[in-house]
């Protein structure tokens, strides 16, 4: 569980890292596209500028040549153009052709280049062509300068993106990933601890319940022995006992019966705690009707008025809810016994927060509200045994059932006038 969470955290960070890498690559691609555009533009601009410069040079040279040729000074033209071509390192070839096609100057540098520019200029005098100068320039220097520029630009882009990406990564790590990782770790730790404690709790509860069950269960056999033999003693040896003896025997029987009852309710409490919940729609009104008819069947003499709200339907475990309602109605029936006209009501109310609250109320003996919380603890009773008999486990069982439904249970009362037992579910 811990390792899985850790892996999940790693995966999250890795996903972020991948996203960042993709973003940085995209940025780089974008920058390089921009670079290429700029480089291409600057390259064509540089070429155009070069062409313009060459044309200007040729035009100036042409002007000089025309001037010299008009004076018949061909030597100057030849010398000038040769010196000119020789002097400009980028001139690979220069040809000057007279109007009649005579090649006056033919300069060839002992050098070649894959990148050249050829420009031609026709020097004219009074609209008559005098000299055509054709020049081939070496653009290697220009190209290599452009190449250097391009490399610098691309290199710079890469460096910028790398620095930017690194900064972004470290910032993200510091501001997002590390806290995230820490949070995940803390969470993991807390969860781990919770799991451990939960398991411990579960184990101790289970142990307790198992102990309780086995004790209750194992007590039954000897109890049955005590009960059986005291019955035999009472029937077969009744005449051989005096009154005191018979009284003792009766007390043994009563004790055994009571103990059996105690074991029953304890087993029920244990059962309620251990049972696996089966959550379904449950009609509480139907269960209540059922329980009441049982109660009346057992004691048909009693005059009790039941008021039941129909169709009280909830989601819960049918069996457990039946146990809870049985206990609540048993109490209401029992503690209203002294009233000539008992009244028992089962109804639903709605809390301020809009929650459904169910209520079993009676007009019986009531109890001192000072101890209202104590009632739900096992073996806690507010009435004497000779007043109202009981084990003190019933409400504890109710509480367990309601808790297992994530609900709440509480009680109110006016001593001598009656009690109200409320519960809500989940």
Ligand X SMILES: Nc1ncnc2c1ncn2[C@@H]1O[C@H](COP(=O)(O)OP(=O)(O)O)[C@@H](O)[C@H]1O
Q: Identify which range of 69-77, 197-205, 268-276, 301-309 contacts another protein by CB under 8 A.
A: 69-77
Distance CA 138, CA 90 (A): 5
Please name the residues in contact with 355: beta carbons below 8 A apart, sequence gap of 6 or more: 424
Token look-up 């009707």 returns 289
364 binds Mg ion (CB under 5 A): no
**367 touches ligand X by CB under 6 A:** yes
Comparing CB distances to another protein, the nearer of 112 and 128 is 128
Task: Name the residue nearer to another protein (CB basis): 102 or 297.
Answer: 102
Query: Is 9 or 77 the residue whose CB approaches another protein more closely?
Result: 77
Q: How far is the CB of 71 from another protein (least distance, A)?
A: 8
Question: What residues numbered 79-118 form the site for another protein, per CB under 8 A?
Answer: 98-100, 102-104
Q: Which stretch binds ligand X (CB under 6 A): 4-12, 60-68, 232-240, 389-397?
A: 389-397
User: Which of the ranges 53-61, 168-176, 281-289, 323-331 carries the binding residues for Mg ion, by CB under 5 A?
Assistant: 323-331
What is d(CA 345, CA 347) in angstroms, rounded to the nearest whole number?
A: 6
Q: Does 267 sit near ligand X (CB under 6 A)?
A: no
Nearer to another protein, 77 or 292 (CB): 77
Residue linked to tokens 């009632």:
375
| 62 lines the binding site for ligand X (CB under 6 A) | no
Residue from 57, 95, 121, 381 in contact with ligand X (CB under 6 A): 381
The smaller minimum CB distance to another protein, of residues 131 and 365, is found at 131
Q: List the interface residues with Mg ion, window 327-356 (CB under 5 A).
A: 331
Q: Which of 77, 304, 365, 425 binds ligand X (CB under 6 A)?
A: 365
According to DSSP H, which parts of 71-128 are helical? Answer: 74-87
| Residue 306 φ/ψ, nearest 5 degrees | -100, 135
C-alpha span between 318 and 287 (Å, rounded): 9
CB 391 to Mg ion: min, Å? 7
How does DSSP assign 363-426, residue by residue? SS----GGGTTGGGSTT--SS-TTTS---S-HHHHHHHHHHHTT-EEEEEEETTTEEEEEEE--
How many residues at the interface with another protein, by CB under 8 A? 14
First to last CA, the chain: 29
Pick from 423, 418, 237: nearest CA to 321: 423
Task: Give the CA dihedral 29, 32, 37, 40, nearest 10 degrees.
Answer: -140
CA distance 245 to 413: 44
CB of 364 to ligand X, least distance (A): 5
- Give the residue, chosen from 62, 394, 407, 418, that forms a contact with Mg ion under the rule CB under 5 A: 394
Q: Is 290 exposed, middle or buried (0-12, 13-18, 19+ CB in 10 A)?
A: middle
x/- mask, ligand X, residues 308-347, rule CB under 6 A, reads: -----------------------xx--x------------
Inter-residue contact 48 to 166 (CB < 8 Å): no
Among 292, 325, 375, 401, contact with ligand X (rule: CB under 6 A): 375
Residue 72 binding another protein, by CB under 8 A: yes
Residues that bind ligand X (CB under 6 A): 331-332, 335, 362, 364-367, 375, 381-383, 390-395, 419
Give residues in contact with another protein (CB under 8 A).
Answer: 69, 71-75, 77-78, 98-100, 102-104
């Amino acid at each position: 569980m811990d390792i899985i969470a850790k892996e999940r955290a790693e995966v999250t960070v890795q996903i972020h890292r991948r996203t960042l890498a993709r973003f940085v690559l995209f940025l780089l691609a974008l920058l390089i596209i921009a670079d290429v555009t700029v480089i291409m533009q600057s390259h064509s601009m540089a070429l155009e500028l070069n062409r313009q410069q060459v044309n200007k040079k040729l035009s100036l040279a042409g002007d000089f040549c025309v001037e010299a040729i008009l004076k018949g000074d061909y030597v100057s033209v030849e010398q000038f153009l040769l010196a000119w071509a020789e002097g400009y390192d980028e001139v690979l070839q220069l040809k000057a052709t007279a109007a009649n096609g005579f090649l006056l100057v033919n300069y060839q540098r002992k050098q070649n280049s894959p990148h050249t520019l050829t420009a031609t200029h026709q020097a004219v005098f009074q609209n008559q062509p005098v000299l055509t100068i054709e020049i081939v320039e070496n653009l290697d220097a220009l190209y290599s300068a452009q190449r250097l520029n391009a490399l610098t630009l691309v290199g710079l882009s890469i460096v910028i993106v790398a620095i930017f990406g690194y900064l972004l990564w470290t910032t993200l790590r510091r501001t997002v990933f590390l806290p995230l990782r820490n949070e995940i770790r803390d969470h993991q730790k807390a969860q781990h601890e919770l799991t451990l404690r939960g398991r411990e709790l579960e184990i101790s509860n289970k142990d307790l319940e198992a102990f309780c069950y086995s004790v209750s269960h194992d007590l039954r056999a000897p109890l049955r022995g005590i009960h059986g033999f005291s019955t035999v003693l009472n029937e077969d040896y009744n005449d051989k006992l005096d009154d005191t003896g018979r009284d003792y025997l009766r007390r043994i029987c009563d004790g055994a019966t009571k103990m059996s009852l105690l074991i029953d309710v304890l087993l029920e409490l244990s059962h309620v705690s251990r049972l696996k919940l089966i959550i379904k729609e449950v009609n509480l009104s139907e269960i209540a009707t059922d329980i009441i008819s049982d109660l009346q069947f057992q004691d048909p003499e009693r005059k009790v008025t039941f008021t039941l709200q129909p169709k009280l339907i909830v989601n819960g475990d049918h069996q457990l809810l039946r146990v809870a309602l049985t206990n609540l109605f048993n109490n209401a029936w029992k503690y209203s016994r002294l009233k000539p006209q008992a009244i028992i009501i089962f109804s639903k109310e709605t809390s301020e927060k809009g929650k459904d609250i169910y209520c079993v109320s009676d007009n019986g003996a009531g109890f001192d509200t000072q101890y209202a919380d104590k009632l739900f603890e096992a073996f806690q009773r507010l009435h004497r045994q000779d007043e109202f008999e009981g084990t003190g486990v019933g409400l504890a069982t109710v509480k367990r059932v309601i808790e297992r439904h994530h609900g709440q249970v509480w009680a109110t009362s006016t001593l001598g006038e009656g009690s109200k037992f409320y519960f809500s579910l989940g």
